Amino acid sequence: MPKKFPSFDECYTAKPQLVKPEDFEKIWEEEIIKIKKKPLEPVSKLKIRRSLTKGSNYEIQFRGHLDNIITGYLNIPRKLKKVPVVITVHDYWKELSHLDELNEILFSHGIAHLHIYLHKEELLKQYN
């Protein structure tokens, strides 16, 4: 008789039950307080572009979890009033090839774009 293998649905629902500690809420609140006390040390540097009249482009960095330096950039179109912002985080190298296109689309609609790299930008571009 052939061996019956479980279906995908059977495997997918076969996950262990999570056990929450009794003081889960207290632990979570303490961790949030610790995170809020940690200084971000943000740094931004204006990058000069040929199309300076269209908007401003800033390189940004701040201190993250376990003192990792997180980098990214912020594109802001020039407008007289406040502009909305879209925040993106790269998606396992796939999005990097479309960042310039995404920037142009958002810029043309008067939307700022904050992109955060989870890994070093040089490393990401190497695999793209």
More confident residue, 33 or 91: 33
How much is the pLDDT for 120? 66
pLDDT digits 0-9 by tens, 24-51: 999 999 988 988 888 888 888 888 665 5
Amino acid in the structure at residue 85: V
Q: What are phi and psi of 26, to 5 degrees?
A: -65, -45
pLDDT at 51: 55
In the predicted structure, residue 127 carries a pLDDT above the cut 60: no
> Which H or E element spans position 87?
strand 85-89
Q: What is the pLDDT of residue 123?
A: 58
Q: Which are the contacts of 117, defined by CB distance < 8 A and separation ≥ 6?
A: 70, 71, 72, 90, 124
Mean pLDDT of the chain: 79
pLDDT, greater one: 62 or 2: 62
pTM: 0.63
Q: Which residue has the higher pLDDT, 123 or 46?
A: 46
- The residue among 42, 38, 102 whose CA lies nearest residue 70 is 42
